[in-house]
């Protein structure tokens, strides 16, 4: 790699517990499965093989990203790399859909509306009631935040709008300073970031997929315009590894 080039590696966390039952996770704090841990370790080995070294990692406050980071850095033999966490890199909040599977959602709200909510850009799912125990204002992780800031539901646009200040105010200055960054986040959060970096339309964004555990390298010109992005392909993982 050219030492003068700017780049960032984006990674979606590994397979988590609710993926097994096809349940919408959102801000629910679910742990990785054995498959997810294996994905994270494989990503770390692949990044090390490709010559990547990180100065710092940025992730969400949810434990599935922390587990991914810890396992990945251990596989790279660099556990000392600091991790910075922020709620702004959390997954999109799915509102009343959180904890439900697609069959239950279709039965409750119908397939057409449901697909608009989870694949479209503008329309959020039905929000959680403010007194619903799933509302993030009851989670001690967010005790230091203004409860009015916490979402009860988000469209992809909403998720993108609360993520981009962290990108612009925290990550971009670090890239300008030459820091080598790994960002470990979630599928929809990274979709919104890719939409921003690539200048995609809302329609084009609907076709963007972010697979779990596969590093995406985004390379920048000196003025931080995007030169291109590439996936570091990884062989199928074995949960027993």
Check residue 236 and give its pLDDT. 64
Question: Of 134, 133, 136, 113, whose CA–CA distance to 124 is shortest?
Answer: 113
User: Within 10 Å of residue 209's Cβ, how many Cβ atoms?
Assistant: 8
Q: Which residues are catalytic?
A: 13, 91
Q: Identify the CA nearest to 186 among candidates 9, 71, 14.
A: 14
Would you list the domain boundaries of the chain? 6-231
pLDDT score, position 153: 97
Structure tokens at 12: 């979606």
Q: Which residues pair with 59 in a beta bridge?
A: 85, 184
Beta-carbon contacts of 26 under 8 Å, excluding residues fewer than 6 positions away, are: 91, 92, 93, 94, 95, 97, 98
Its pTM stands at: 0.94
Which H/E stretch holds residue 241? none
CATH value of 6-231 in 3.90.870.10, 1.10.10.10, 3.40.50.1240, 3.60.21.10: 3.40.50.1240
CA–CA gap between residue 17 and residue 31 (Å, rounded) = 6
- Nearest partner of 102 among 91, 90, 113, 88, judged by Cα: 113
Q: In the 8-state DSSP scheme, what is residue 171?
A: I
pLDDT in tens, the chain (241 residues): 444 579 999 999 999 988 777 889 999 999 999 999 999 999 999 999 999 999 999 999 999 999 999 999 999 999 999 999 999 999 999 999 999 998 999 999 999 999 889 888 999 999 999 999 999 999 999 999 999 999 999 999 999 999 999 999 999 999 999 999 999 999 999 999 999 999 999 999 988 999 999 999 999 999 999 999 999 988 764 444 4
pLDDT in the model for residue 238? 43
Q: How far apart, in whole angstroms, are the C-alpha atoms of residue 12 and residue 30?
A: 14
**Strands, E assignment, 106-241:** 181-185, 216-220, 226-231
| Region of residue 99 (left: phi > 0; alpha: psi -120 to 50; beta: else) | left
Judged by DSSP in three states, 204 sits in helix
The whole-angstrom separation of Cα 151 and Cα 196 is: 21
Determine phi and psi for 163, rounding to 5 degrees: -85, -40
Structure tokens at 49: 């093989």
10 Cβ contact list (under 8 Å, min separation 6): 183, 185, 190, 193, 194, 210, 215, 216, 218
DSSP secondary structure code for residue 135 in this structure: S
């Amino acid at each position: 790699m050219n030492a003068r080039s700017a780049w960032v590696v984006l990674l979606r966390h590994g397979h988590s517990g609710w993926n097994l039952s096809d349940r919408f996770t959102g801000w629910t704090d679910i742990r990785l499965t054995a498959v997810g841990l294996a994905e994270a370790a494989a990503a770390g080995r692949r990044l090390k093989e490709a010559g990547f070294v990180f100065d710092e990692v940025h992730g969400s406050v949810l434990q599935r990203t922390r587990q991914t980071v810890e396992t990945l850095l251990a596989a790279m033999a660099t556990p000392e790399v600091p991790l910075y966490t922020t709620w702004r890199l959390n997954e999109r909040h799915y509102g009343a859909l959180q904890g439900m599977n697609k069959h239950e959602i279709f039965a409750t709200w119908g397939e057409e509306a449901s697909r608009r909510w989870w694949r479209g850009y503008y329309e959020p799912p039905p929000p959680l009631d403010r007194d619903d125990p799933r509302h993030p204002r009851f989670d001690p992780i967010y005790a230091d935040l203004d409860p009015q800031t916490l979402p009860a539901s988000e469209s992809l646009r909403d998720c993108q709008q609360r993520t981009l200040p962290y990108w612009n105010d925290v990550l971009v200055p670090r890239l300008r300073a030459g820091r080598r960054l790994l960002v470990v986040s979630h599928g929809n959060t990274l979709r919104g970031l890719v939409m921003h970096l690539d200048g995609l339309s809302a329609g084009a964004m609907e076709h963007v997929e972010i697979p779990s555990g596969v590093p995406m390298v985004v390379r920048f010109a000196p003025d931080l315009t995007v030169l291109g992005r590439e996936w570091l392909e990884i062989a199928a993982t074995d949960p027993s590894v």
